[in-house]
Amino acid sequence: MYFESRAQAGQLLATQLAEKYRYDNCVVVALSDGAVQVGEQIASALHCILTMLLIEDIPVPGESVSFGGVSQNGGFTYNGMFSAGEIEEYVGEFHGYLEEEKRKAFQKINRLLGDGGIIDNDMLRDHTVILVADGLDNGASLDVAVDFLKPIRIKKLVVATPVASIPAVDKLHMVADELHVLDVKENYMGTNHYYDQNDIPSHEETIAKINQIVLNWQ
């Protein structure tokens, strides 16, 4: 399945979610700038808050895979697709690089937090949290989000994404109470591949939009 835009994909997901969650206490939490474009449609349909969890991925040098990610509370979570042995091997080989990248990632997040892009735990407590992605390949950002949510008492964790890989869906079944995935790919080609339009704003522009957004209920 291919989509005209992230907004169009978000409208399709919103249709699935609206009947069940329209009158529930929900918060839509986007996992990336592109996910905000998806999540805006869901939040509008549910008449609920839209926010974004700031996550900075740390890539493995020379490989198209992520070590894991740093969240806005400073916590680092390894990519759950790695075995304990693989993590140990990577840490041994890239320890200095990894620690420096963690430091830079948290500094970048702190700069963005200064613009108001922060999630208040009270905003999520006792709510149904709908984590939204624009595509999930290996689920690394999901690992970070789940770790971020662990200390917070939430009512239910729902994950919604237009497209995901088979390994990501397998992981979702283990961590989420409910899934909404429009298309599952055996051979995931990269998130942008599934959208005709890929005009994604920067982190700074996205945070400014979230801070200023006024949802026009229909």
> What pLDDT, in 10s, does the model give residues 105-141?
888 777 766 655 557 788 899 999 999 999 998 767 8
Return the pLDDT at 213: 58
Class (C level, CATH) for 6-56+115-212: alpha beta
DSSP H helical segments within the chain, as ranges?
6-21, 33-46, 84-113, 121-124, 140-149, 166-175, 203-212
Domain locations in the chain as residue ranges: 6-56+115-212
Burial of 199 (0-12, 13-18, 19+ CB in 10 A): exposed
Please answer whether residues 77 and 71 qualify as being in contact, where contact means their C-beta atoms are separated by less than 8 angstroms: yes
Q: Give 30-43 pLDDT, tens digit per residue.
A: 998 899 999 999 99
Q: Are strands 26-30 and 55-59 parallel, antiparallel or unpaired?
A: unpaired
* Phi then psi dihedrals of residue 168, to 5 deg: -65, -40
Return the pLDDT at 69: 87
pTM: 0.82
Residue 217 has pLDDT above 90, yes or no: no
Return the pLDDT at 216: 43
Residue 214 has pLDDT above 50, yes or no: no
Question: What does the pLDDT average to over 154-177?
Answer: 94
- Tell me what percent of the residues of the chain surpass a pLDDT of 70: 92
Return the pLDDT at 113: 64
Q: Give 80-101 pLDDT, tens digit per residue.
A: 778 889 989 988 988 899 899 9
Return the pLDDT at 124: 92
Question: Using 50, 70 and 90 to split pLDDT, how confident is the model at 185?
Answer: very high
Residue 9 has pLDDT above 70, yes or no: yes
Question: Using 50, 70 and 90 to split pLDDT, how confident is the model at 218?
Answer: very low
